[in-house]
């Protein structure tokens, strides 16, 4: 019984560690500016499991992190998670699709109404 319990606990720890990811490297600003996105309307959606994400109109996320090779740009910042607390993480935008936590085993991909996100520059 003790061996079975130890195997189960070890498996759970391994699964938890597999979900951990490193923080991407920082991008240097170009001419004192970063690429960024701004939400033009508030969106709220579920990842299909238990998490809810909310991005408010006017909210900006900044491309200040290096995406892994072959991945779309990362736009990072704070957004509302479960309508309760702020989460600092990164998203990618591909066309009218948002990808929350791209590259992780917990990535969530959702289509957005056209025009929900506009691409801007922000000063450093």
pLDDT in tens, 39-67: 999 998 887 777 888 999 999 999 988 88
pLDDT in tens, 89-107: 899 999 999 998 888 887 8
Q: Is 60 exposed, middle or buried (0-12, 13-18, 19+ CB in 10 A)?
A: middle
- Please report the pLDDT score of residue 70 as a whole number: 82
Beta strand spans in 29-84 (E): 33-39, 43-46, 52-55, 60-65, 74-81
CA 92, 94, 99, 104 torsion: positive or negative?
Answer: negative
**Domain residue limits, the chain:** 26-123
Whether 114 has a pLDDT exceeding 50, the answer reads yes
Q: Which 8-state DSSP code applies to residue 91? A: E
Q: Which H/E stretch holds residue 86? A: strand 85-94
pLDDT in tens, 8-45: 544 444 444 344 455 567 878 888 899 999 999 999 88
Query: Residue 112 — very low, low, confident or very high, per pLDDT cuts 50/70/90?
Result: very high
Are 29 and 7 within 8 A, CB to CB? no
φ, ψ dihedrals at 116, nearest 5°: -70, -30
Are 7 and 1 within 8 A, CB to CB? no
C-alpha torsion angle, residues 35, 94, 92, 105 (rounded to 10):
-160
């Amino acid at each position: 019984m003790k061996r079975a319990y130890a195997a189960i606990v070890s498996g759970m720890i391994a699964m938890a560690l597999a979900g951990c990811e490193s923080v991407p490297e920082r991008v240097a600003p170009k001419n004192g500016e970063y690429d960024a996105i701004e939400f033009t309307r508030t969106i709220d959606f579920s990842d299909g499991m238990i998490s809810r994400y909310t991005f408010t109109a006017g909210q900006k996320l900044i491309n200040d992190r290096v995406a892994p090779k072959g991945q779309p740009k990362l736009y990072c910042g704070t957004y509302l998670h479960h309508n309760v607390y702020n989460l600092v993480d990164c998203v990618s935008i591909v066309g009218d699709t948002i990808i929350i936590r791209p590259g992780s085993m917990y990535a969530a991909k959702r289509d957005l109404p056209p025009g929900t996100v506009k691409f801007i520059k922000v000063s450093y």
